[in-house]
Chain A
């Protein structure tokens, strides 16, 4: 009886605390904006500004259009980055020759923050879609390669011995033992790539774009329209957390053994 009650209290507590945290932030926001309206618009005017983006579109599209512009850039770049990044990561982690050829290149590129590529991309490719997608690709490709190859090369030697004793060919061992063993690391790479891609696309849009949530931030900033900046920032935050929520769900589907602990 006692433990059941305790469980119920815990359930309420762990559902309630996040809600409480959000409420506290909103309260702090209301209090702060009441005292310093010039620094921080209050929630109601942000809400009104949000409605206005649908009535009076910016750059010929509403808030959804801007969100979709950012999202579609990220998703396209991510798909390409996942395909290439995981492939290269497996290659580098599994094959010593490939590691010798490509490994050092990635080590050199790794510490460069993606936004440092922005001037190069603009100079080479202008301000169209291509440089933005390329930029996100660079920002997401590298963590994928690094995580995947680390995961592959850290597979316990004994697991490979198992594969050999049970008569597996190199390809079978790679496919049935090594890649699944590395899957949690690969997934960590995917997770990093999504958050890094989302950050990078917004940074790219802030510098040069007609559409996208990043461009809304810049427009609000330049027009001293703090409410618009907040609309964009909140939308960015909501989409970012939705993406990570979806990834959690996906991880449970892809790596079911990990969630059984």
Chain B
């Protein structure tokens, strides 16, 4: 309903990525285009190992594209976009920094004064439910807690668009469900645009305003779904199961 009025935040236009080796080449992404609307929770659902992380890295400006363009607020972006934040699949927390120092990283790089840095970081540590763990090192935390640090770190850097690369892929099922609710709660509280990548259909249906379904290698846009089911969504309701079945039937099997 609201979605119709949402403005375009980002435009991914005809992105292709081919990796060249000595005497072979490999196309990971082929002509992928979609819009990211301001404030939405966009899910990119892809079956295999192919292309998703590369696509995100291109959107974040970490990797060169072979073809296409990333338009942000109407302007073409090359290199790292400072308004895009990222939660990494492999966590990539700094083991030598405490939770607080990890969360502060972006602000430290931007030269935010220490007192302000601490305050903002503590606010986001509270938001992700890690109050009391500010001075712990990542090795002392569980998998779910570590990913909460990754989420707090991304939010604390005040990104306008937040990319999450299969953030819950390494968590056990129980923790995964509770983190899905957490991420929705934080998203509703913070109202940033989120681009969330997953290979899990249920997770995609539970979280997304829209789902961009990618094909298996090379990744192409197969279908875009608008999800009208109001939140909080019931995973065993009929409409949810129907949607899930519909997407599942349309998904390439990953080997």
Contacts and interface: CB of A to CB of B under 8 A. Distances in A.
B200 interface: no
Interface stretch (B92-100, B175-183, B184-192, B243-251): B92-100
Interface in B82-121: 82, 84-86, 88, 90, 92, 94-97, 105-106, 108-110
B105 A162 contact: yes
B193 interface: no
B80 A158 contact: no
B147 interface: no
B141 to A, nearest CB: 11
Contacts of A158: 88, 90, 92
A156 B94 CA distance: 11
B96 A181 contact: yes
A6 interface: no
User: Could you tell me the dominant secondary structure of chain A's interface residues?
Assistant: helix
A257 B85 contact: no
A5 interface: no
B109 A176 contact: yes
A155 to B, nearest CB: 11
A166 B139 contact: no
Contacts of B82: 167
Interface in B35-60: 57, 60
Contacts of B198: none
A104 interface: no
Which of A156, A162, A172, A180 counts the most B-chain CB atoms under 10 A from its CB?
A: A162
B88 A167 contact: no
Nearest to B86: A165
B3 interface: no
B84 A183 contact: no
B229 interface: no
B140 interface: yes
B62 interface: yes
A261 B86 CA distance: 27
Which of A158, A159, A167, A169 counts the most B-chain CB atoms under 10 A from its CB?
A: A167
Interface residues of B, number: 27
A172 B86 CA distance: 18
B157 interface: yes
Which of B84, B96, B140 counts the most A-chain CB atoms under 10 A from its CB?
A: B96
A260 interface: yes
Nearest to A164: B80
A169 B111 CA distance: 11
A253 interface: no
B72 interface: no
A255 interface: yes
Interface in A159-177: 159, 161-169, 172, 176-177
Contacts of B94: 159, 162, 177, 180-181
Nearest to B93: A162
Given A165-B85, A166-B106, A156 B92 contact: yes
B109 A162 contact: no
A176 B108 contact: yes
A55 to B, nearest CB: 52
Which of A156, A164, A183 counts the most B-chain CB atoms under 10 A from its CB?
A: A164
A172 B95 CA distance: 17
A257 B92 contact: no
Contact of B106 (A167, A180, A181, A255): A167
A183 B60 CA distance: 29
Contacts of A181: 94-96
B109 A161 contact: no
B96 A255 contact: yes
11 contacts: A159-B94, A161-B92, A162-B86, A162-B105, A167-B109, A167-B110, A181-B95, A181-B96, A256-B137, A257-B139, A260-B139
